Amino acid sequence: MGKWSRRAFISGGIISGGAVLFGIAIRPGNRVAKVAPLISDTNDTIFNVWLKISPNNKITVVVPHAEMGQGAHTTLAMMLADELDADWNLVEVLEAPAHKEYANYALAKGYALGDLNFPSWLVDTIDGFFLTATQAINLQITGGSTAVRTTGKFAMRVAGASTKAVLLEAAASTWNVPTDELTTKNSIIQHTESSRSAPYSEFAAIAAQLKQPVKPNLKMPDEFQIMGTNVQRLDIPSKVDGSAKFGIDARPPSLKFAAIKTAPVFGTKLKSVDEVSIQNMPGVRKVIQLDNAVAVIADGYWQAENALAALKFVFEDDGNELVEQSDIFKQFENDMNNAIKNSAEITDFQKGDINAALESANHIVEAEYRVPYLSHAPMEPMNCTAWVHDDICEIWTGSQDPLGFAAQIADALEIDVGNVLLHNEFLGGAFGRRAFSDYAIQAAKIATEVPYPIQLIWSREEDMRHDYYRQASISRFEAALDNSGIPIAWINQYVEKHDPVEAPYIPYAIDNQHIHFTESKTHVPWGFWRSVDHSLHAFFTESFIDELAFAATKDPYAYRRDLLADSPRFLHALDTAAKKSNWDSPLPDNWGRGIAIHKSFGTIVAQVIEVEVLEGRVVPRRAICAVDAGFAMHPNGMEAQMESGIVYGLTAALYSEITIQHGAVAQSNFHDYPMLRINESPIIETYIINGGEQIGGGGEPGTPAVAPALVNAIFNATGKRIRQLPIRLHDLSTKELSSKDVA
Amino acid sequence: MLTLTINEDRYDLDIDPQTPLLWVIREQVGLTGTKFGCGIAQCGACTVHLDGKPIRSCTTPVFAAVGRTVTTIEGIKNESGELHPVQQAWIEEQVPQCGYCQSGQIMSAIALLQKNPLPDDTDIDNAMRGNICRCGTYPRIRKGIQRAAKMIAIAPQKKKTIDG
Ligand code: FES
Ligand code: FES
């Protein structure tokens, strides 16, 4: 990854507020003048904010997303480079600075309009409107699996194609030949008739003066040269020799280190600190009191940690210290019951006539499921380096939302956002956690108290105890089956809804449905966790459909198949996973096979998991994954994301549970919040289906179907239906009647 | 004053001998490729070699490294600056995702191959279970180690054919 030159950034000035900005790649008008000083070396020609062409024909692609391991930098660069017919070997990536000009308007648009294709006459209006809206809320977020499907589609590809168009126009006029006699390949323009050819860089200066087409022709999949191939990821070489720079690796001059303790009970305040208790400890520089936390700055991090451990301080009590995990589940139950009693339920989705269906039913099946709070636990604990100097607050960190971070830091320090200079480094994992700026604000506040830069590092314990947690939840189901076992009614009530809206929806053709929920707020902070609400609802719905198959004495794959008869995309993914798993082949004793399918972020994932239950211990042996994301821009990267999502999902389903004890998180580190390790990791096979629909996400959709496929496999092996996660809470040392016995 | 040898360089440091080696490497010596993940020997992100053996530098006091050889991720290229076969294999198999755990993974993998040049998947699992990868790169770590083992195994023969 290239680096922004700080001097260029500062001397170029920061665009002052109030400027009217337009869609960069889609709207007409050349926006580059303002951004040029920020990314230009003297001899580069800037086309628009998404790319620049250097005199040596090197193309630098500016990517408005953070690299957190999902390969966004490479994939987005591929999309632009392909439309540009660029020489991939001469392509470099630069992450966009935290700057308004790069606001992720494509993301807002993708969200707001459900990723639709717009009629051309609407495009300008929509872009202008959404760009303004997005900038207003400071989005440059990497999340929601949006990099490829929104930024890639609406910005990178358009930028590549429209830049190619003006390069061709410039070449045509220079050589005085018709544009359509020109061809492009590997960053070279060729005119066969006159045997002339020249690199893009030769026409860059002229082309930059031309008006770029608003809606250039984009390639059809059969014309792709780079998209859909497995180029090597650009960030990987630096990640094998230790040279990759993460937030924690920032080393500004005279750096000191800070350790912090935030009030264990969420929302409580710092009451008092006895600073004298550590004043003679080695290396200690200063104790900083924040509203709800106390920090120690020292010459080294270990000294800061030791001093913090010795420091005497008291947090206030505010009543939440009395809350236990069991109280929270009790509150959920009460709120759910009361909502029904008082008809205060909020409807998610409704169709058909539930009551009539229930009356005509042959058989009613009921079940209740529970999931715990979850922590993100990325490998790199939260950290941020801050330095207040020369009227600016300079920040080094890893953020999924650098623009938002800059704005929130500015708010917290009561300074102009233009005076926050944020360097976004590689993210050592994020999974949603690094969309929240709490740690960066802490660092910035600490830095205002000292003349030197400080690096605030959260211990793993702080990281686990001050996360924004995936919600705990209860989900209740009631289904009516007709006399052939087909579901004719599906009623689902759950607690705590967040995003996305469609997470609890089912793909199955069931005529009568009522999906509804209850809000039940707790003092535990909530955050986006890889796949967000899909992470719980896929477990609920895909477990319950398995229970219905069992009640109907049908094979769970065949049962789903019947209910998906009118959904060819789902069927194709389901069939692929089942076939690749040899669904009907017998398994050894104590082994089981489970299936699940779920669509999230536009991508359908079907998984079959095989487990062995060894003296009560669950060992996932094999995971087969069929994924239809419309089109896989980088198939190897898509596979990597599926592997990653599966391991993440297995960790959560088998082990993960954050519990509240005396108002605070009980878990603290990897010994009591364990991670799946390599010896527990199954063989993973991924099969990519390029279904040709709208492109879906890759970073999140691998996770949701894992938990249900796994519990369904355990049921198949043992006859034990697990309705509460994590799985390790359950005794699986004995067997009951299972799907094996009926199928 | 205490003297350390890291990647064949000598460092004279004025430091509390109890300081974990991890922080000395990252802060005093300034090599940031070795990472902090848990601080309690649970994750392996801080793995370095002490006299060729993998250790958790977050729980190893710096005095324990005095008079011994410390090797970090920055010190495993060969004299001509070529990547170690494990690093090359990691690129070929496209192992890293976020990359944060990978210095530790690579150091553990190199130590494994030094002890056992042809490990099977069970050997790999046993040697690598101390290194957590939250991004779930385990299937590729297995492939990476297998590939590196092959590269190391054929390397001397290649040399012979060139010589001959
Ligand atoms: S940081 Fe040393 S093992 Fe985790
Ligand atoms: S690559 Fe991210 S933790 Fe291993």
Running DSSP on this structure, what letter comes out for residue A316? P
pLDDT digits over A527-540, tens only?
999 999 999 999 99
Name the residue of chain A whose CA is nearest to B95's CA: A236
- Closest by Cβ to A239, choosing from B31, B37, B96: B96
A396 CA to centre of ligand 2 in angstroms: 20
Does B2 contact chain A (CB < 8 Å)? Answer: no
CA distance A266 to A525: 8
Q: What percent of chain B has pLDDT over 70?
A: 95
CA distance A627 to A393: 44
| Local structure of B83: helix, strand or coil | coil
What single string gives the DSSP state of each residue in A98-120?
S-GGG--HHHHHHHHTTTPPPPH
Do you find a cis peptide bond into A221, omega within 30 degrees of 0? no
**How deeply is A33 buried, as exposed, middle or buried, from its count of CB atoms within 10 A (0-12, 13-18, 19+)?**
exposed
Instruction: Quickly state the pLDDT bin for A742 (edges 50, 70, 90).
Output: low
Q: Are A325 and A292 in contact (CB under 8 A)?
A: no
pLDDT tops 50 at residue A12: no
pLDDT digits over A18-47, tens only?
111 222 333 333 345 555 554 545 455 544
- Closest by Cβ to A282, choosing from B16, B101, B135: B16
| A678·B141 Cβ contact <8 A | yes
**How deeply is A20 buried, as exposed, middle or buried, from its count of CB atoms within 10 A (0-12, 13-18, 19+)?**
exposed
Which of B133, B140, B141 to probe ligand 2 with, by most ligand atoms within 8 A of CB? B133
B30 CA to centre of ligand 1 in angstroms: 18
- Ligand located closest to A640 CA: 2
Q: Are B37 and B43 in contact (CB under 8 A)?
A: yes
pLDDT digits over A538-558, tens only?
999 999 999 999 999 999 999
| A681·B138 Cβ contact <8 A | yes
Phi, psi of A34 (to 5 degrees): -70, -35
Output helix, strand, coil percentages for chain A, rounded to the nearest 5.
35, 25, 40
**Cα-based distances in Å from A49 to A23, A146, A730, B148:** 10, 19, 54, 41
Where is A74: in which H helix or E strand? helix A72-84
| Local structure of A604: helix, strand or coil | strand
Ligand 2 contacts (CB < 6 A) are A 69, 379, 429; B 96-102, 133-135, 137
pLDDT tops 50 at residue A743: no
For range A702-722, the mean pLDDT: 97
C-alpha A642, offset from chain centre:
13
Contacts of B38 in chain A (CB under 8 A): 460, 669-670
For the CA of B96, the closest atom of ligand 2 is 1
Exposure on the CB side of residue B28, measured as CA atoms within 13 A? 23
pLDDT tops 50 at residue B132: yes
DSSP-H helix ranges across A592-705: 635-654
A122 CA to centre of ligand 2 in angstroms: 42
Do you find a cis peptide bond into A199, omega within 30 degrees of 0? no
Where is A340: in which H helix or E strand? helix A325-341
pLDDT tops 90 at residue A394: yes
Does B140 contact chain A (CB < 8 Å)? Answer: yes
Domain B85-154, CATH homologous superfamily name and number: [2Fe-2S]-binding domain (1.10.150.120)
CA distance A469 to A658: 8
A245 CA to centre of ligand 1 in angstroms: 18
Instruction: Quickly state the pLDDT bin for A125 (edges 50, 70, 90).
Output: very low
| Local structure of A182: helix, strand or coil | strand
| B138·A678 Cβ contact <8 A | yes
**Residues sharing a CB contact under 8 Å with residue B153, sequence separation 6 or more, in sequence order:** B117, B118
| B38·A430 Cβ contact <8 A | no
Q: Are A302 and B19 in contact (CB under 8 A)?
A: yes
CA distance A71 to A68: 7
Contacts of A69 in chain B (CB under 8 A): 96-99, 135
Q: Which of B19, B134, B147 to mutate to test the interface with A (most CBs of A within 10 A)?
A: B134
Structural domains present in chain A: 6-241 (3.30.365.10), 247-318+382-457 (3.30.365.10), 329-361+469-742 (3.30.365.10)
Instruction: Quickly state the pLDDT bin for A52 (edges 50, 70, 90).
Output: confident
pLDDT tops 80 at residue A274: yes
Q: Are A622 and A609 in contact (CB under 8 A)?
A: yes
B25 lines ligand 1 (CB under 6 A): no
> In this structure, which amino acid lies at residue A668?
S
C-alpha A395, offset from chain centre:
23
Where is A184: in which H helix or E strand? strand A182-185
Which pLDDT belongs to residue A706? 98
| B100·A670 Cβ contact <8 A | no
By mean pLDDT, which of A8-22, A210-224, A313-327, B133-147 is the weakest?
Answer: A8-22
Which pLDDT belongs to residue A129? 38
Contacts of A257 in chain B (CB under 8 A): 27
For range A636-645, the mean pLDDT: 96
Looking up tokens 């459909």 gives A545
Q: Nearest residue CA, atom 3 of ligand 1?
A: B41
Q: Are A383 and A260 in contact (CB under 8 A)?
A: no
Q: Are A597 and A31 in contact (CB under 8 A)?
A: no
Nearest-5° Cα angle at A116, A114 to A117: 165
Instruction: Quickly state the pLDDT bin for A146 (edges 50, 70, 90).
Output: low
Domain boundaries, chain B: 2-75, 85-154
Name the residue of chain B whose CA is nearest to A684's CA: B139
CA distance A25 to A676: 42
Computed from CA positions of residues B15, B21, B23, B27, in that sequence, does the dihedral angle turn out positive or negative?
A: positive
Q: Are A96 and A62 in contact (CB under 8 A)?
A: yes
- Nearest alpha carbon to residue A349 among A546, A136, A556, A501: A501
pLDDT digits over A342-358, tens only?
999 999 999 999 999 99
| A239·B99 Cβ contact <8 A | yes
Which of B101, B103, B106, B108 to probe ligand 2 with, by most ligand atoms within 8 A of CB? B101
- Smallest CA–CA separation between B25 and chain A, in Å? 11
Name the residue of chain A whose CA is nearest to B19's CA: A302
* ipTM rounded to 2 decimals: 0.96
CATH topology of domain B2-75: Ubiquitin-like (UB roll) (3.10.20)
Where is B110: in which H helix or E strand? helix B102-115
Query: Which 22-81 residues of chain B touch chain A by CB within 8 A?
Result: 23, 27-28, 30-40, 42-43, 45, 72-74, 77
Contacts of B142 in chain A (CB under 8 A): 678
pLDDT tops 90 at residue A121: no
Contacts of B129 in chain A (CB under 8 A): 677-679
